[in-house]
Amino acid sequence: MLQFARFTVMRAGLAFFTLIMVSLIVFSLMELVPGDCAERYLSFKSSQGSVITLADIQAERVRLGLDKPYLVRWGSWIINAFQGEFGDSCILRLNISELLGQKFWLSLGICLASLLLAYLVAIPVGIIAATSKNPYLNNSLRLVSYLGLAMPNFLLALMIMLFSTIYFGDTLTGLFSKEFRDAAWSWDRVKDFLGRAWLPVFILAWSATAFAIQTVRALMSDEVGKLYVVAASARGVTGRALLWRYPARHALGPIINSLGFDLNRIFNELPIVALILTLTEAGSLLIEALARSNDQQLAGAIIFMLTAAIVGINFVTDIILALTDPRVRRSILG
């Protein structure tokens, strides 16, 4: 038990270290970008008609603490970030945590739902692909899963949207119907949300499923060929027990292990799908911050939070593995 606690603490330390590394990378990249927050905000102001002088920019810099050395700023940024405080957005002048708040969690929820959907499909399909001896079934499953790779999410999203516009007259876009957009959470709003959220979830799951099928298939093919499966069938274990209790169970570990990186891949697609489906509630900020307004504070905060979510998932999956897989447990506990 003590060793397990030690492992948890060490693993948490590693996650923490990763986050710090990530924050440094993200922060540095944001810094490398030409222009800083003061310039950006004031140039935005000037485009609105205000008259801005160099002195104004300098004053704004001092106010934002941009005159301090790089590492000091990173330090204060990271300390605040760990408290969930990202300062104010460059352009919108609003507190980022408030701005993101619920929207971030909605995005995360959608991504996790896609991940879940992807594996709900991929695990049975991958297992069938790995164990079936029918070459036609195998090849067609392979082709379908490759199509998932070759047909990018945004194209699929687009197609679905266009078709639905033409044939149903509903764009299926957004996460809420108009009447619920700014309403408080209620049962109806939840229903409305679910009625609309399935599309982004489905689209994000599309290529995630293709990836997941490949992973499951490869892992299962490895496991199925192992001697312990032959030994089990020599003991009279047959059918589903032979499949689930033996290779499937042992392939599960690496799958759980890869969940964090799968989430990473889904996050990759999120902004693009959000853009097409005009997921204003969840994704617009991302697009807005990243692509439109060059808001480095906001962009940094979003990327940092996404990464934190992945690091968190990786941490959780490692702990789950350590709890469930005796081999991992052994290597930890010695």
Partner 1 sequence: MTDTANIDVNVDQKLKEAYFTASQGQLIWTRFKKQTAAMVGLGVLALLILSGIFAPFLTPYDPTIAGRNKDYMNGAPNIPSFCDDNGCSLRPFIYSYDRTRSIQTNFRWVTETDTSLEARRYVVFFTQGDKFTFAGINFSTHLFGVDKGKIHIFGTDSTGKDIYSRTLQAINTSLAVGTIGVFIAFVLALMIGGVSGYYGGWIDSVLQMITDAVRTIPTIPLFMALAAFIPETWSAETRFLFISIILGFVGWPTLARRVRTHLLTERNQEYVLAAQLCGARAGHIIRRHLLPSFTSYIIVDLVISFPYMVLSETALSFIGLGLKDPVNSLGVMLQQVTSADVLLNYQWYFIPVFFFITLVLAFVFVGDGLRDAADPYADTKK
Partner 2 sequence: MTKPLISVKDLTIRFKTDEGLVTAVEKVSFDIAPGEVLGLVGESGSGKSVTAKALMLLNPDNAVYDSTSSITLNIDDKEIDVLSLAPKDRLIIRGGAVSMIFQEPMASFAPAITIGSHMVEQLLIHSDMNQVEAKELSIEMLARVGIPDPAMRFDQYAFEFSGGMRQRAMIAMALSTKPKLLIADEPTTALDVTIQAQVIDLMKDLVSEYHMAILFITHDLGVIAQTVDKVAVMYLGTLVEKGAVRQVLRKPTHPYTQGLMNALPKLDELDQPLTAIKGDIPSPLDRPTGCVFNTRCPVTLGEECETRVPVYTSTEEGHQVACLLVEKEGASA
Partner 3 sequence: MSEPLITTDDLSVHFPVRGKTLFGPAPVVRAVEGVSVHIERGSFFGLVGESGSGKTTFGRALLRAAPITRGSATYSDGDVTYDLPSLKDDDLREYRKRAQLIFQDPYAALSPRMTVRDIIAEPLEVMGLTKSRDETDTRVREIAKKCRINLEHLRRFPHAFSGGQRQRISIARALVSEPRFIVADESVAALDVSIQADVLNLLKSIQQDMGLTFLFISHDLSVVAHICDHVAVMYLGRLVETAPTRELFAAPRHPYTKALLSAIPSLDPDDQGNVQKLEGEIPSPTNPPPGCKFQTRCPHAIDICRQEEPKLSHMGFEHDVACHRWEELAE
Binding residues vs partner 1 (CB under 8 A): 14, 17-18, 21-22, 25-26, 29-30, 33-35, 139, 142, 146-147, 149-152, 154-155, 158, 162-163, 165-166, 225, 260-261, 264-265, 267-272, 275-276, 286-287, 289-292, 294, 296, 299-300, 302-303, 306-307, 310-311, 314
Q: Does 234 bind partner 2 (CB under 8 A)?
A: yes
Q: Does 238 bind partner 2 (CB under 8 A)?
A: yes
Q: Does 233 bind partner 2 (CB under 8 A)?
A: yes
Pick between residue 34 and residue 135 the one whose CB is nearest to partner 2. Answer: 135
CA angle 96-77-13, nearest 5°? Answer: 110
Binding mask 101-140 for partner 3 (x = CB under 8 A): ----------------------------------------
Region 241-260 residues binding partner 2, contact defined as CB under 8 A: 241, 245-246, 249-250, 253
Pick between residue 134 and residue 186 the one whose CB is nearest to partner 2. Answer: 134
C-alpha 233: how far from its chain's center?
40
Supply 163's token pair: 């078709």
d(CA 294, CA 143): 40
Which does residue 233 touch among partner 3, partner 1, partner 2, none (CB within 5 to 8 A, set by kind)? partner 2
Which does residue 94 touch among partner 2, partner 3, partner 1, none (CB within 5 to 8 A, set by kind)? none
Instruction: Give one DSSP letter per residue of 248-276, joined into a string.
Output: IHHHHHHHHHHHHHHHHHHHHHHHHHHHH
CA dist list (Å): 87 to 4, 23, 59, 77, 81: 37, 15, 18, 8, 9
Q: Which of 78, 106, 218, 332 binds partner 3 (CB under 8 A)?
A: 332
Per-residue HEC secondary structure of 32-99 comes to HCCCCHHHHHHHHHHHCCCCCCHHHHHHHHHHHCCCCCHHHHHHHHHHHHHCCCCCECCCCCCEHHHH
Binding mask 4-43 for partner 3 (x = CB under 8 A): --xx--x---------------------------------
Report yes or no: 301 and 100 within 8 Å, Cβ to Cβ. Answer: yes
End-to-end CA distance of the chain: 12
Q: Does 240 bind partner 2 (CB under 8 A)?
A: no
Which one, of 137, 158, 175, 191, lies nearest residue 276 by Cα?
A: 158
Supply 148's token pair: 């998932």
Q: Which of 135, 236, 239, 334 binds partner 3 (CB under 8 A)?
A: 334
CA dist list (Å): 175 to 141, 154, 196, 276: 32, 17, 5, 12
Pick between residue 121 and residue 128 the one whose CB is nearest to partner 2. Answer: 128
Task: Kindly determine how many residues on this chain lie close enough to bind partner 3 according to the rule CB under 8 A.
Answer: 5
Q: Does 326 bind partner 3 (CB under 8 A)?
A: no
Question: Which residues here bind partner 3, judged by CB under 8 A?
Answer: 6-7, 10, 332, 334
Binding site for partner 2 (CB under 8 A): 133, 226-228, 230-238, 241, 245-246, 249-250, 253, 325-327, 330
